[in-house]
C-alpha cells in the first residue's frame, strides 16, 4: 500500500516535470530526476514517448547487446594472467628444449643427445689424462737417462 | 576499469620477472658466436641440454661443440676465449708449440649459477676440437672435479 502511494506520488511528480520539460522550464537537476524516473523498467505505456526521448530504449538495447556476464569477465582476466605467466615459459621451453645438431641435422632423441653430451665430456676428461701422462713422463727417470745416453753416444 | 589496469600491470611485471632468469647468461660471452657460427655445420656436433641430470652431473645448461678437421675454427674459438678470459679464473691451460690447446675457465657467477668453459684441441689421431659451456647451481670446482674424475 505504501509502495503504491509512493508510485502515485512519483507519477504525479513525473507528470509535473514532463510538462515543465515540454515547456522548456526544467532545470538541470530536474531533468536528471526525470531521466532517473524514466529509466526505470515497468513504467506505464503512457511514458514511452518520454522514455524514447531520454534514450531509455537505446540504453536498454545497448545494455543487452554489449553486456558481458561477470563470470566471463573474470574468466577473461584469468586467461590473460595465465597467458602472461605461462607464455614466457612456453616460449622458453620451445626455444631451449634439449637438442643436438649432428652434421647439420637436428636431433631431438634425448638418448642420442645425452650420449653426444657425454662423449664431449669424455673428450675433456681424457685430454686431462693425456696431460697427466705427459707430466708423469717428465718425471720418468728412465726417459731422462735415455735422453742423456743420446748425448754420451755423441761424446764417444 | 582501474582494477583491470592494475591486474594487467601486475601480470606484466610477473611475466617479465619470470622471463628474466631464462635469458641465458651464455649470450654475453664471445663463445656464443662459435656455437652460432659452427653449430649447424657438417663435421660438427652441437648439443644443448637444459636442466638435465646427466650421468650424475646436475646442469642448468650444458652446451657442447665438437668440431673435426677444422683448425681455423680452433683459432676462432681461441680468440673468443681470449676475450672471455677477462674476469674469469683460468683453472688450466696447456700450451703446445706456443698455442693453447687446452683451456678451462671458471667464469664469474651470474646470479645463482656457476659457469664454466672447457676447451680442448687434439691433433692426432685426428684434429678435434671440443668446446663445452656449463651453467650449474653446484660449485664449478665440484663440477670440474666430477668431470675430470669420470672417464
B58 and A CB contact within 8 Å: no
Interface test mutation site (partner A, options B13, B23, B49, B103, max chain A beta carbons within 10 A): B49
Instruction: Tell me whether residue B16 is in a domain.
Output: no
CATH code of the domain containing B52:
3.30.2030
pLDDT grade for A49, boundaries at 50, 70 and 90:
confident
Instruction: Tell me whether residue B141 is in a domain.
Output: yes
pLDDT grade for B45, boundaries at 50, 70 and 90:
very high
pTM of the model: 0.57
> How confident is the model over B50-89, as pLDDT tens digits?
887 766 778 889 999 999 999 999 999 999 999 999 989 9
Q: Could you tell me which residues come within 8 angstroms of residue B96 by beta carbon, excluding any fewer than 6 positions away?
A: none
B122 and A CB contact within 8 Å: yes
Angle at B132 between CA B129 and CA B133, to 5 degrees: 150
Mean pLDDT along residues A72-101: 72
String of b and e for B108-141 (b: at least 16 CB within 10 Å)? eeeeebbbbbbbbbbeeeeebbbbbbbbbeeebe
> In the structure grid, which three cell numbers stand for residue B70, read together?
677444422
Mean pLDDT along residues A148-154: 68
Instruction: Tell me whether residue B41 is in a domain.
Output: yes
ipTM entry: 0.78
Instruction: Tell me whether residue B4 is in a domain.
Output: no
> How confident is the model over B2-30, as pLDDT tens digits?
566 666 666 655 555 555 544 555 668 99
Residues facing B133 on adjacent strands: B63, B117
Per-residue pLDDT at A62? 55
Q: How many domains does chain B have?
A: 1
What whole-number distance in Å separates Cα of residue B2 and Cα of residue B26?
40
Instruction: Tell me whether residue B9 is in a domain.
Output: no
Instruction: Tell me whether residue B2 is in a domain.
Output: no
What whole-number distance in Å separates Cα of residue B48 and Cα of residue B51?
10
Full domain range(s) for residue B84: 25-149
Nearest CA to B147 among B104, B95, B94, B109? B104
Residues facing B122 on adjacent strands: B128
Amino acid at each position: 500500500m505504501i509502495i503504491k502511494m509512493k508510485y502515485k506520488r512519483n507519477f504525479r511528480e513525473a507528470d509535473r516535470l514532463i510538462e515543465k520539460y515540454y515547456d522548456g522550464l526544467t532545470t538541470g537537476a530536474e531533468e536528471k530526476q526525470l531521466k532517473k524516473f524514466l529509466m526505470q523498467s515497468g513504467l506505464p505505456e503512457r511514458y514511452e514517448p518520454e522514455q524514447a526521448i531520454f534514450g531509455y530504449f537505446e540504453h536498454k538495447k545497448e545494455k543487452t547487446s554489449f553486456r558481458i556476464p561477470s563470470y566471463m569477465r573474470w574468466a577473461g582476466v584469468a586467461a590473460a594472467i595465465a597467458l602472461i605467466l605461462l607464455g614466457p615459459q612456453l616460449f622458453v621451453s620451445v626455444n631451449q628444449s634439449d637438442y643436438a645438431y649432428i652434421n647439420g641435422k637436428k636431433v631431438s632423441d634425448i638418448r642420442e643427445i645425452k650420449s653426444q653430451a657425454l662423449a664431449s665430456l669424455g673428450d675433456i676428461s681424457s685430454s686431462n689424462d693425456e696431460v697427466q701422462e705427459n707430466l708423469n713422463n717428465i718425471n720418468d727417470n728412465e726417459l731422462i737417462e735415455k735422453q742423456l745416453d743420446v748425448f754420451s753416444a755423441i761424446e764417444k | 576499469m582501474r582494477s583491470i589496469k592494475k591486474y594487467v600491470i601486475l601480470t606484466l611485471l610477473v611475466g617479465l620477472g619470470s622471463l628474466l632468469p631464462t635469458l641465458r647468461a651464455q649470450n654475453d660471452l664471445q663463445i656464443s658466436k662459435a656455437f652460432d657460427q659452427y653449430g649447424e655445420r657438417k663435421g660438427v656436433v652441437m648439443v644443448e641440454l637444459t636442466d638435465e641430470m646427466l650421468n650424475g652431473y646436475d646442469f642448468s645448461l650444458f652446451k657442447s661443440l665438437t668440431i673435426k678437421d677444422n683448425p681455423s675454427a680452433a683459432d676462432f674459438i681461441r680468440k673468443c676465449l681470449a676475450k672471455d678470459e677477462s674476469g674469469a679464473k683460468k683453472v688450466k691451460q696447456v700450451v703446445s708449440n706456443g698455442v693453447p690447446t687446452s683451456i678451462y675457465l671458471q667464469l664469474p657467477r651470474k646470479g645463482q649459477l656457476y659457469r664454466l668453459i672447457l676447451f680442448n684441441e687434439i691433433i692426432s689421431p685426428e684434429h678435434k676440437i671440443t668446446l663445452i659451456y656449463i651453467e650449474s647451481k653446484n660449485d664449478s670446482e665440484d663440477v670440474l672435479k666430477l668431470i675430470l674424475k669420470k672417464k
